Structure 1
Amino acid sequence: MKLAFSLTVCLLGLAPGFLSSAEIDFSKDVAPILETNCVSCHSGDEPAGDYLLTTKEDAFESGSGGAILPESPEDSMFYTMTVLPRTDEQLMPPLRSGGPLSKNETEILKTWIAQGAKWPEDMTLKARAKEGPKFASPDDFELVKKIHAKIIAQAKKEQGDPANYKNTIPVTEVEYEMIAIPGGEFVMGSPATEELRRLEEGPQTKVSVDPFWMGKCEVTWDEYEPFMITQVDRRKDGSRIDFDTKSHTIVDAVSQPTPPYTEMSFGMGQHGYPAISMTQHAANKYCQWLSAQTGHFYRLPTEAEWEHACRAGTTTAYSFGDDPENLFDYAWFYDNANEKYQKVGLKKPNPWGLHDMHGNVMEWCADQYIPDYFEKIQNSTKNPYIKPVSLYPRSVRGGGWDDDPDRLRSAARRGSEAVWKQQDPQLPKSIWYHTNAQQLGFRIVRPVKIPSPEEMYFYWNSAKDVY
C-alpha cells in the first residue's frame, strides 16, 4: 500500500510535504529518475566529474565523496545540485541534458535521502533514453512556407546575371562572401590511372549542374557560433521553450543547437577559423536560419556541385594540377597544419576563387553516401543527388587538416560515421554535435533556381527524424 501511495503522489503532483510521509522505494521511485536523467553522464571510463552512479558503492564513494549523506538531504550534493536555479552552471542535470528535474522528482530524491538512502546492494543502474513531452515545434512546414515566401519576394527585387557578392548576417552583422559558380557539364570522378584513387570515385561520368553560388570560404566560428550559442532555453530538438508567435520572428522559430558539453573549438582558435564538429542536421539548420534572415535560399552542396566547384574547370587530381607537392601553397593538411585547423582564406584559391576546397576541414555535402554513387547516377546525370534515407553515412568532401594528400583530391569521397559521436555522454546522442569529428566543417551554396517549399523542407530536415 505504501508503494502504491508513493506512486500516486508522484503521478498526481501532490504537495512535497505530503510526499515526505510516504516510504520511497529505490527500485520503483528513484532508479527511473537516475537512469533517465543522470547515469548516461555518470558512467563509463570517463564519468562527468569523476562521479560514477551505477552502483551503491560508486554513488556513495566516488568523485570527491559526500554526494549522498543518509538522513541529511540538505547536506547531500546529490539533492542540492538538482534544486539550483535553472541558469546555474552547477545545476544537475543541466539544461542541455533536459534539466532541471521536476519538483516531484527532486522531492522524491530528498525524501529518499532523508529516509536513509536505501539502495539494494545488488542493484546496478543502466542508462536509458528519456522520453520527452509531446509538443508542437514552431519549426515545421508552415514555417518553411513563410521563409519560401520571403525568398520569392526578395528574388523579385534582384535582377541581372549571377555575380559574386558579399552579404551581412542581419542578427549578428557578420560578413560572408559568395562566389558565382557557372553551371554546365563536367567529368565527375577520378580516372583509373589517378594515383591513390579509390573504387568509389568512378567510373568517371559526365554530369551537368545548374548555376549556383558557393561560400568563398568554409563557414567560420564568427558566422556559426551565434547560431550555436543563444542563451535561450531550448528543448532537445532545438526549439525555444518560450516561443510565442506574437513576440518571436520566423528566425526565432528555426531550431538551433542546445548548449555543447565542451568548448567546441577544442582550443584551436575561433575568430577567423572554420566552425567544426557539427552534425549534418546542425549544418542544415544553420542554412535555414541564414535563409530566414537574408531572403536567400541556402543549403549544403550536393556532391556533384561540390566537385564541380572544387575542380573549377580542371581535370587534374587537384584544382592546381597533379603534383601533391603544390598542396603547401593551396591547402592545410597533415604535413603543414601543425595538428590543428588554420584560419580560412590564407592559402591560394582555386581558379574560381574558392579557398580551402582542399584540406583545412572536410565539408558536409547534402547526399547520402553510397560507394556505388556513379552506378546509381547513370540514368540521372543532370543535377545528380542521392536523397538521404538513413542517418549514416552522409557524404563529406575535401579532406581536412589531419589528412594525407590523397584524401584532399578533387574526387576523394568519404561517409560520416556513428563513431564521430563517441564522446557524447547523452542518451540518446545529441542531434547537434559530432564531438569526435574535429576535422569536420561545411560551406554553403545558394542555387540560382529557387526550389519549392517541399524541397526546401527536405534539404533543411533530411537528418531531423533519423537520429
Structure 2
Amino acid sequence: MLALVGWFLVGGAARCASAVDFVKDVKPILEQNCLSCHAGEDSDSGYDLSTKKAVFDSEYNEPMVVAGDPDASSLYTTMAADADSDELMPPADAGGPLDKKSIDTIRAWIAAGARWPASETLHPRAKPRDRSYTPDNRDLLEQIHAKIVEQSKRDASAKIAGYEEKIPRTGVVFEMKAIPGGEFSMGSPPTEVSRHDNEGPQAKVTISPFWMGAREVTWDEYEPFMVTTVERRKNGARKDYDPQRHTMVDAVSAPTAPYMEMSFGMGQSGYPAISMTQHAANKYCQWLSAQTGRFYRLPTEAEWEYACRAGSRSAYSFGDDPAKLSEYGWFYDNSGERYHKVGAKKPNAWGLYDMHGNVMEWTADQYLPDYFERVNKSAADPFMRPRTLYPRAVRGGGWDDDPENLRSAFRKGSDPIWKQQDPQLPKSIWYHTDAQWLGFRVVRPQRTPTVDEMDAFWNSASDLIK
C-alpha cells in the first residue's frame, strides 16, 4: 500500500509524503480555497477548518480528517469529487475543482499522519487567480500557438494581400483586407469641430502591416460560437470536457446561454453581432484562431484609427463634411433606430465598411484618458494592456450616435451600466445587454505572436472577472 511506504504521485512525479510540510504546503491551500466559507463557529454548514481541534474533533457527516486514511477523510474526498458533483469542495462556482497538485498534497499530508502544529490557526486569504480549473489555460495557448506557427510557415510565401477565410466548423466566409504599415498622426487636432479632450494631443504613431475584417463580425459568424447545446460553467468551460474526446477548439471558453434574444428583433443573418463584452469578443477571436491556425484578435486603438483613416487626416475618412456621412455610415439621422446589414454603405479607401457608424466597435485596449501622453513615450504599435475590467476602449460610433461621435478620432470607455438589464448576480461576463449598438471586427497581424502575446489579447479579462 502506497501509504505505508510514504510515496505518492504529485503533479506527475513521485513525492515523499513525509516531506509535506503543513505550514508551507497545506496551510496555503486551505486558507486560499476553503477558509473564506469555512472558518469559525458560524462557518457555512458548521464546517470549521480554522483550527486543529475543529478539524479533528468534527462529526460533520463523516470525519474531516482521519490521520493516515485519506479515503475516510471528508476534507480529501470532497476535494477529489467529480467536477459536477454536489459534494465538490470548493464548489465549481467558488473556484473548484482544485488543481491535481493541491488535491494530491492534501492526500499525502493526511496519509503521512496529518501533522498540524497546535499553534497554527488558519485565516482566510486571497487566492492568486489562475485558470487551472478550466481547459482554457496555458497548455491550450501553447497548442494553438504551435498550430499558428505551422500555418505561418505555409503562408510565408504568399503575397501580402486581402483574402477570404472560411470558418471550418460553420462554413461561413468572411473577408480580410490587407492594411499596409506606416506612420500617421493619431488623434484629432485642436481645430477639429466637435473634438473631445481625450483625443489628443496628437501623436506620431508607427503601425506594422496587418489584416482587418472588411466588415463587422456578423451573427452568421458569431452566433455559432455564442449559442450551442453544450452545458457550460459560468467561466465558459464545457461541463463535459474530456481531453480524450474533445479538440482544442472545444477547450476554448465560450458564452453561457443568453437569457434573451440578443439581436433584439433588429435582424440576424448579415447583420452585425452586438452586445457582447470585450471578454466575449476576445474569446471569439481565440475560438476562430484555434480553427484556422491564424492569429485573430481585436484591433488596438491605434490600429483601429489608422485603418479607419485609411491615409486621411480629416475628421472622417472621406473628408470633414458630415453631410456626406450618410453615404458611408448608419447613425442617428438615417438608421431608423436600429442597426443595418454590414457593408451596405461605401467603404473607406482601404476597402473597410462601416468604420463610421452602424455599431461601435471593441478595441483591445484599456481606455485611458491620458492615452496620448503614454503613446508619445512609445509610439510603435502601442497597446495599452488592460489592468482593470472597466473602462475598455471602443471606437467608431453606432447607429444611435450623432455625427460627431462617428469621427475617426472619437473614443469612448466601457461602463458597467451597459449590463443594467442583466438579471444575474453576479452579472454575466459575456453580455452587455444594454449596449445594443456595440460590436467588433477582427484583425490579424502579419508577425507571428508569442504565447504571451496571445494570452495578453485573448485573456485580458480572465484574471479580473468573477
TM-score interval for Structure 1 and Structure 2 normalised by the shorter chain: 0.7 to 0.9
> Is 1:419 matched up with 2:417?
yes
Q: How does 1:162-173 map to 2 (within 5 A)?
A: 162-173=160-171
Partner Cα separation in structure 1 for residue 435 and residue 333 of structure 2: 19
Q: 2:230 corresponds to which residue? A: 232
Deviation at 1:464? Answer: 1.2
> Is 1:408 matched up with 2:371?
no
* Equivalent in 263, 269, 272 of residue 271 of structure 1: 269
Deviation at 1:376? Answer: 1.1
Deviation at 1:178? Answer: 0.2
Q: 1:388 corresponds to which residue? A: 386
Query: Would the alpha carbon gap of residues 191 and 284 (structure 1) be closer, same or farther in structure 2, given more than 3 Å must change?
Result: same
Query: Would the alpha carbon gap of residues 314 and 132 (structure 1) be closer, same or farther in structure 2, given more than 3 Å must change?
Result: same
Q: 2:177 corresponds to which residue? A: 179
Q: How does 1:346-361 map to 2 (within 5 A)?
A: 346-361=344-359
Partner Cα separation in structure 1 for residue 217 and residue 259 of structure 2: 21
Q: C-alpha offsets along residues 409-451 of structure 1, whole Å, 9 cap, x if unaligned?
A: 0000000001001111111111100011101000000000011
Alpha-carbon RMSD: 2.3
Query: Is the contact between residue 130 and residue 427 of structure 1 (CA under 8 Å) also seen in structure 2?
Result: no
Query: Would the alpha carbon gap of residues 408 and 240 (structure 1) be closer, same or farther in structure 2, given more than 3 Å must change?
Result: same
> Is 1:133 matched up with 2:96?
yes
Partner Cα separation in structure 2 for residue 352 and residue 130 of structure 1: 46
Deviation at 1:204? Answer: 1.1
Deviation at 1:7? Answer: 7.2
Query: Would the alpha carbon gap of residues 11 and 170 (structure 1) be closer, same or farther in structure 2, given more than 3 Å must change?
Result: farther
Q: How does 1:9-48 map to 2 (within 5 A)?
A: 12=61
Deviation at 1:131? Answer: 3.1
Q: 1:150 corresponds to which residue? A: 147
* Equivalent in 147, 150, 159 of residue 161 of structure 1: 159
Deviation at 1:12? Answer: 4.2
Partner Cα separation in structure 2 for residue 186 and residue 461 of structure 1: 29
Q: 1:81 corresponds to which residue? A: none
SS for the counterpart of 1:354 is coil
Number of equivalenced pairs: 355
SS for the counterpart of 1:206 is strand
Deviation at 1:134? Answer: 3.0
Partner Cα separation in structure 1 for residue 61 and residue 459 of structure 2: 37
Query: Is the contact between residue 331 and residue 401 of structure 2 (CA under 8 Å) also seen in structure 1?
Result: yes
Deviation at 1:161? Answer: 3.2
Q: 1:458 corresponds to which residue? A: 456
Query: Is the contact between residue 204 and residue 376 of structure 2 (CA under 8 Å) also seen in structure 1?
Result: no
Deviation at 1:458? Answer: 1.5
Q: Which amino acid aligns with 2:143?
A: K
Partner Cα separation in structure 2 for residue 195 and residue 7 of structure 1: 65
Q: 1:307 corresponds to which residue? A: 305
Partner Cα separation in structure 1 for residue 151 and residue 362 of structure 2: 27
SS for the counterpart of 2:96 is coil
Partner Cα separation in structure 2 for residue 130 and residue 169 of structure 1: 32
Partner Cα separation in structure 1 for residue 93 and residue 235 of structure 2: 13
Q: 1:59 corresponds to which residue? A: none
Q: 1:242 corresponds to which residue? A: 240
Q: 2:319 corresponds to which residue? A: 321
Deviation at 1:277? Answer: 0.4
Query: Would the alpha carbon gap of residues 193 and 145 (structure 1) be closer, same or farther in structure 2, given more than 3 Å must change?
Result: same
SS for the counterpart of 2:94 is coil
Q: How does 1:56-75 map to 2 (within 5 A)?
A: none
Q: Which amino acid aligns with 1:134?
A: P
Q: 1:70 corresponds to which residue? A: none
Deviation at 1:350? Answer: 0.2
Q: Which amino acid aligns with 1:256?
A: A
Deviation at 1:133? Answer: 3.1
Query: Is the contact between residue 219 and residue 441 of structure 1 (CA under 8 Å) also seen in structure 2?
Result: yes
Q: 2:254 corresponds to which residue? A: 256
SS for the counterpart of 1:327 is helix
Partner Cα separation in structure 2 for residue 316 and residue 199 of structure 1: 17
Q: Which amino acid aligns with 1:150?
A: K
Structure 1 residues without counterparts, runs of 5 or longer: 14-99, 105-128
Q: Which amino acid aligns with 1:308?
A: Y
Partner Cα separation in structure 2 for residue 101 and residue 403 of structure 1: 48
Deviation at 1:399? Answer: 0.3
SS for the counterpart of 2:404 is helix
TM-score by length of 1: 0.73
Q: Which amino acid aligns with 1:265?
A: S
Partner Cα separation in structure 2 for residue 130 and residue 461 of structure 1: 19
Structure 2 residues without counterparts, runs of 5 or longer: 1-41, 48-58, 63-83, 99-132
Q: 2:50 corresponds to which residue? A: none
Structure 1 outlier segments of 4+, above 2 Å: 10-13, 100-104, 129-135
Partner Cα separation in structure 2 for residue 306 and residue 290 of structure 1: 20
Q: C-alpha offsets along residues 201-227 of structure 1, whole Å, 9 cap, x if unaligned?
A: 011111101000000000000000000
Query: Is the contact between residue 204 and residue 374 of structure 1 (CA under 8 Å) also seen in structure 2?
Result: yes
